Structure 1
Amino acid sequence: MSDQLKTVDQLTITFLVDNCIEWFTKLPPGFTHELPQHLRFHHPEIDEVTNTPVLDFDKFCCGAHGFSALIQTTISDEPSASASHLVLFDTGPDTQSLIRNLSAMQIPVENINRVITSHWHSDHTGGLLSFLKLRNGDNESASTSPSAPPPVPPCACIVDVHPDQPIARGIAPGPTYDKVVCRLPPDPRFEQIEQAGGVVEKHSEGHTVANGSVYVSGEIPRVTPYEAGLPGAMRWKVGEDGKGSWVPETHIMDERYAAIDVAGKGLVLFSACSHAGIVNVVKDAVSKFARPVYMVIGGLHLAGADFSPRIGPTVKFLSEELKPAVCYVLPMHCSGFEAKVALQQAFGEGCVPAGVGLKVDVVGDREQDKRLLAAVY
């Protein structure tokens, strides 16, 4: 695999798991709420009395504390068989929300050939096994009609993971951060992933996937003084004597981001939780690709008293210090209300209230890209 990132002609994003559902706020061009997608494309039932489409809320998306985004990239001059790719970035926290929302958005799961896990926290990996089982027909929602022909097995789904999987991770709240009050649910083990039909690929270094159209980072350099990791993060480790204990793990070093370069626009960055700090993510992407950052997406982990002091310098960097500034910021998942307000004040309509079910279409422009090449840092 290479770390050479190709420029794409179109990027389509469908948010499949997020903490928020947002139906009514005005959106910029290229952004579509969930509700009109159901009305236009999902053939809702027509009410016999009023001859009007009926909204079936049982078939709409649900929110959950986690993140998952479906990424579709298209390169126009590639052969038709390899021009378009579907990649799932994270899988949410549980066995139900991603499965429900894939059904609600009528996603052809058999066409998703790669899952990228951003890091080993179960609010990002909890839906992985249920997704793989659904994709391979081993699911209660799959057809069980005796007259139906057996499903054609899809191509194997690659699960792109960091190799450093913890035994367990826990939370130790402040002010002392020394007593673990709970552990997170276990992440799927490598053998469980393979048993569910996935093909495990372990990557600690940056690389491209989806025929070079999506970059998956390696370890994110920590260079900003104010992005100091996750206070109270703990990891269970077993010593040479076979005894286990909780040890501090402020820096979640297995975290990775994803990047797509859209012609005429620049980089679209996915940072599912930003334990490394979103400024560190942006700085790493810019240093690697020398391209403007068009859009920043995902959890920014700026919620709560521990992270509030980071909001000001983070917003200032994205809106003022980075040249050119980011065009769109989509603060999701663990970003927090205070950070969203600050970003909205700085970016105006460039801060998009994204949520589950939202669809984003970013259309490239090769002619504009020639002019964009001069906008390097």
Structure 2
Amino acid sequence: MSSASSSLLRVDNLRITFLVDNSIEWFTKLPPGFSSELSQHLTKHSPPIDDVTGVPFVDLENYCCGAHGFSALIETQVEGSEPHTILFDTGPDSKSIIRNVESMQVKVDIIERIILSHWHGDHSGGLLSFLRYRKNKSPDVRTISVDLHPNRPIARGIAPPPGDKVIGRLPEEPTFDEIKELGATVELHTEPHVVAGSTVYVSGEIPRVTEFEHGLLGGAWTSEPHIMDERYAAIDVLGKGLVIFSACSHAGIVNVITDAVKTFQRPIHMVIGGLHLGGPELASRIPPTIDFLSNRLRPSPTYVLPMHCSGFAAKVALEAALGEGCVPAGVGISVHVKGDAKTDTKLFAPVIA
């Protein structure tokens, strides 16, 4: 176990709010601890009241919007210690992250760190606008850290199969200087490390060990099928196990989970984010991924939240295999995972068959 992983604290409370995702989900029954966007707006956000009926308006003008990207607000707390709040990715553009932050009434001044999972516009596109918004909202707010992989690419793009021609360039990535000019501190990391009072683990390079997760064709003007700057984040909840944030899973979600299991020897409570199984060219990866999650990994994750780039076929297959363990999360949904010291000693290290 690395020094970073050994210093990760188990948290008593974890709260997650999804600020950017491709999907909006209001109608599915959610597990305990999950709150829909609609219920939060109607009960917690002081909605306008209709004078005629006396009930709150469903104020759609100010609700969240979906966008092709990912961003999650993560709040952690160890009992008896101060809470910590970070932002994991910032969505694809300058508009969706700001609209949704305002819709969910996020207190941006308490966010102490932004973790960028990897350099791709659908995850980094809202970074500068968020920093600018935060600075304008609270000019005297404390400095925020931006946690980045140092290998910022010159350009990345979209290349459909067979991947030999890039048909569109993704937007320019934020530069280190632009981030600093907006009052943030740039931190460059290639190795695993813990942040947020040692409650959040940020991985280093994700080992590629599976036989079927072979990277992605195309998408760059130089060959980089594995997107090696990608990192995942992990939080260990007392009595529950690991909550894994894999924003896009270019490394393959099985590789991500395998590394987390090897690193921590803790069961996986929740897998969150893009599983990168969308599109016909990746359909062959769905069966072995489902087999890993439902059969080979023991115990299986309590919940899998396939978001962003997971794809419809993967979601259908996950629901068939995991039932209510597959949660169709989307933007605006909040999750509260509460630790339990009494059950923590009963947890055992997972086994991969």
Q: TM-score range by the shorter chain?
A: over 0.9
In structure 1, C-alpha distance between the alignment counterparts of 2:340 and 2:103, rounded to whole Å: 31
**Which amino acid is 2:223 matched to?**
P
Contact 2:77–2:83, Cα closer than 8 Å, also in 1? yes
Percent identity over the alignment is 61
In structure 2, C-alpha distance between the alignment counterparts of 1:207 and 1:124, rounded to whole Å: 20
In structure 2, C-alpha distance between the alignment counterparts of 1:84 and 1:59, rounded to whole Å: 28
Contact 1:231–1:306, Cα closer than 8 Å, also in 2? no
Map 1:213-362; keep pairs closer than 5 Å: 213-234=199-220, 246-362=221-337
Shift of 1:50: 1.2
Shift of 1:2: 3.7
**Which amino acid is 1:324 matched to?**
P
Map 1:180-219; keep pairs closer than 5 Å: 180-219=166-205
In structure 1, C-alpha distance between the alignment counterparts of 2:332 and 2:248, rounded to whole Å: 19
In structure 2, C-alpha distance between the alignment counterparts of 1:154 and 1:2, rounded to whole Å: 29
Which of the numbers 13, 16, 23 marks the counterpart of 2:19?
16
Contact 1:303–1:338, Cα closer than 8 Å, also in 2? yes
Q: Which residue of 2 aligns with 1:238?
A: none
In structure 2, C-alpha distance between the alignment counterparts of 1:130 and 1:171, rounded to whole Å: 23
**Which amino acid is 2:198 matched to?**
G
In structure 1, C-alpha distance between the alignment counterparts of 2:211 and 2:243, rounded to whole Å: 24
Q: What SS does the corresponding residue of 1:280 show, helix, strand or coil?
A: helix
Which of the numbers 139, 143, 146 marks the counterpart of 1:156?
143
TM-score (norm 2): 0.97
Contact 1:213–1:261, Cα closer than 8 Å, also in 2? yes
Q: Which residue of 2 aligns with 1:147?
A: none
Q: What SS does the corresponding residue of 2:298 show, helix, strand or coil?
A: coil
TM-score (norm 1): 0.91
Contact 1:20–1:356, Cα closer than 8 Å, also in 2? yes
Contact 2:245–2:271, Cα closer than 8 Å, also in 1? yes
Shift of 1:90: 0.1
Map 1:126-137; keep pairs closer than 5 Å: 126-137=125-136
Shift of 1:172: 2.5
Which of the numbers 157, 167, 181 marks the counterpart of 1:170?
157
Shift of 1:152: 5.4
**Which amino acid is 2:261 matched to?**
V
**Which amino acid is 1:118 matched to?**
S
In structure 1, C-alpha distance between the alignment counterparts of 2:97 and 2:183, rounded to whole Å: 17
In structure 2, C-alpha distance between the alignment counterparts of 1:2 and 1:250, rounded to whole Å: 28
Aligned length: 348
Across the aligned residues of Structure 1 and Structure 2, the Cα RMSD in angstroms comes to 1.1
**Which amino acid is 1:113 matched to?**
E
Contact 2:297–2:350, Cα closer than 8 Å, also in 1? no
Point out where structure 1 has 5 or more consecutive residues left out of the alignment. 143-150, 235-245
**Which amino acid is 1:214 matched to?**
V
Q: What SS does the corresponding residue of 2:226 show, helix, strand or coil?
A: coil
Q: What SS does the corresponding residue of 2:145 show, helix, strand or coil?
A: strand
Shift of 1:305: 1.3
Structure number, greater radius of gyration: 1
Contact 1:47–1:54, Cα closer than 8 Å, also in 2? yes
Q: Which residue of 2 aligns with 1:97?
A: 96
Shift of 1:7: 0.3
Which of the numbers 29, 32, 41 marks the counterpart of 2:32?
29
What are the Cα deviations for residues 49-78 of structure 1, in whole angstroms up to 9, with x where unaligned? 111111111110000000000000010032
Shift of 1:170: 2.1
Q: Which sits farther off after the overlay, 340-349 or 165-174?
A: 165-174
Q: What SS does the corresponding residue of 2:292 show, helix, strand or coil?
A: helix
Structure 1 residues 152 and 129, CA, compared in 2 at 3 Å: closer, same or farther? closer
In structure 2, C-alpha distance between the alignment counterparts of 1:333 and 1:375, rounded to whole Å: 29
In structure 1, C-alpha distance between the alignment counterparts of 2:140 and 2:277, rounded to whole Å: 42
Q: What SS does the corresponding residue of 1:233 show, helix, strand or coil?
A: coil
In structure 2, C-alpha distance between the alignment counterparts of 1:26 and 1:115, rounded to whole Å: 31
In structure 2, C-alpha distance between the alignment counterparts of 1:288 and 1:14, rounded to whole Å: 26
Q: What SS does the corresponding residue of 2:185 show, helix, strand or coil?
A: strand
